[in-house]
Structure 1
Amino acid sequence: MKALLVKILVPIGIVLLGVVGFSLIKASAADDGDKKPVDTRPTVSVKALKAVEHQVLLTSFGEVKPLETTRLAAQVSGEVTSWHKNFVAGGLVKRGEVLFSIEKDNYQAALLQAEAALTSAQAALIEEQAKAQVAEDEAARFPNKPRTDLFLRKPQVLSAQAQVKSAQAALMRAQRDLEDCDVKAPYDALIISREVGVGQFVNKGTQVAQLNNIETAEIIVPIAGFDSLFLPAPLAETPVNISYKGINSFVRQGKIARDLGVIDSATRMSHIVVQVEDPYNLKSKGSDLKFGKYVEVSFAGKQLSEVFKLPQELVNNRTVWVVDDEQKLQAKEVNVLRTEGAYFLIDKGLTNDEKLVLTLPEYPQAGMEVKLAASNASDALK
């Protein structure tokens, strides 16, 4: 009986299990049909482009040099009697200060002789002019009798006048020689070297010192070819900042004086000259801009209009990625006008309000559909 019952129940159980399994499979299939499709588009961050006005900043480096260097020489001969306390290497002197003096006795005597000679020549001229007047009076009494210029003493008067001029010239030379006994600084100067001392006899024309002009310093600054396109116009008088970076950093102001007008054949660079007034602060206070110091020079170049300033990492082979109105990636070729630090300045290839892609998918393709990150989709790139 039990065996019969088992034979009957086993087939029935198998059938029931099949029905249950079929129901489960059908239910599962129905659930799968109800599921929404998965969005596989990559998410990107974008910002809306905005063109800007940009002031180009040009930067270069150069060495501070004196505007002029003078090899000072004595204008008269004689023994050195004294010299200025700052007339030593490294000393600073002002324009017109006496650097050293030469013994003056001989030149004072020469001045007295020249004055005496001038007085004598003037007396001789007065005498000749009086004699000429007497001759004219006598000629007037006998108007019909011819008189020569020699009789009227015209040559004698001309000769006396020439003697006076010669004496005046000698007096001027004697006065100049006496003044030249005091050798003065031709400008505010830094003493580079001195080759004269008290008691030393110097000859006329002997070099006795070397001076550097510290009224104005110059910095010759190289300008690369790609920077020369952005130089301001006019160039002269453009203000510049001169800075030194280090333990004793400082900033000074100067101006562009001129362009040297040539391009270096080796480097293909042009050069401009920057001038700085009173580099050693003889008339003001501040940090000395010593000759030989290597400094940075920066100044404003041209003003650029309607350019886009983009981080360099967003530009690859002059190409950037944007999202079009259909939310598809598009590659756009751009023209890089200039590089400044970590940015490119772009003047062609982009338009205002285009959506620049900030975070690209791993393998971007033109026409790839993307979705925008909601947090910054409408930001403007500045």
Structure 2
Amino acid sequence: MSDATLFQPYPLGPLTLANRIVMAPLTRNRAGEGLVPSPLASTYYAQRASAGLIITEATQVSAQAQGYQDTPGLYTQDQIDGWRTVTDAVHARGGHIFVQLWHVGRISHVDLQPGNAAPVSASALRAQTKTFVNNGFVDVSEPRALDIDELPAIVDDFRQAAANAIAAGFDGVEIHGANGYLLEQFIKDGANQRTDAYGGSVENRARLLLEVTAAVAREIGADRTGVRISPVSPANAISTVSDPQPQYDYIVDQLSALGIVYLHVVEGATGGPRDVASFDFGGLRRRFNGTYLANNGYDLQLACARVSEGKADLVAFGRPFISNPDLVERLKRGAALAALNPATLYGGGAEGYTDYPTLAEAHAQ
């Protein structure tokens, strides 16, 4: 497989990726005091720098944006400094790294919110799901609907976090518009019952995502800006009433017009079946003029096929990167993949984080 297109270099904006394999964002709940990346994070990401591109764990753009215990931020100087140690470590290994920026919206708990306030969302509709807080999984709290005059500040939080990302040494940012978090709570009409300029029509429901993307692209450059979407995923109890195809066709047309560097698409249910609902993902690929990054349930065979057929430019792998820091090399050799320990996914220290061996280390043991 060593001569497969998947393993060839790829130009992404101003970068040249060593291969077409991307490490997907993976929440690990290991940030330290002040929600600063822990010293172990530098080791963790550097171990995986052979990926063509690393996209970090989701990182909140403000204190209000947090929805899970011990997830890192990018809105204080200490957080910027902490992330700088990560980006320096990845770059020292010859890697490239984007940070995924999020606001969780209603997927939060009052214990995580400033002043124990209610989480915010497009509408005051509680999600039937849980979050991780106080070292356990609990039901999310009842949200309140954002006032329309609060939305410019949300947009500016993303813009400022993107500027902070560049100050921290990141090669770019990915805007998290997927998996049932705030931007998707506006996009999908199962969570958005607004009657103002941000609700109702396809155009209105897409407005906040597009305003955020435009602001970030103006701040750091469209060639350093990516967006993640999940058109049919039910993650975090998000749902649609109307057909999602026209909604996402419009979104992708607009994102393409903004000239962003890549579109990261969760094809199917996040971490679940690819055929959860009927949807034309190929149509999104044809509508988008930039790089199409495919995600969800990819193995070596499918990834090679989609890239060689031109149906994807890059392919993201998630959990396999946790237990296989040298995933690229293992895929290239057709080697067996190490098993993941689910008990160490969230929280904790080095165990299940930085102690998974490479092939060479495993053979030396």
User: For this structure pair, what is the TM-score category when the shorter chain's length is used for normalisation?
Assistant: under 0.3
Q: Which has the higher contact order (CA 8 A, sep 6+)?
A: 1
So what's the TM-score if we normalise by structure 1? 0.15
So what's the TM-score if we normalise by structure 2? 0.16
Relative to its length, the structure with more strand (as a share) is: 1
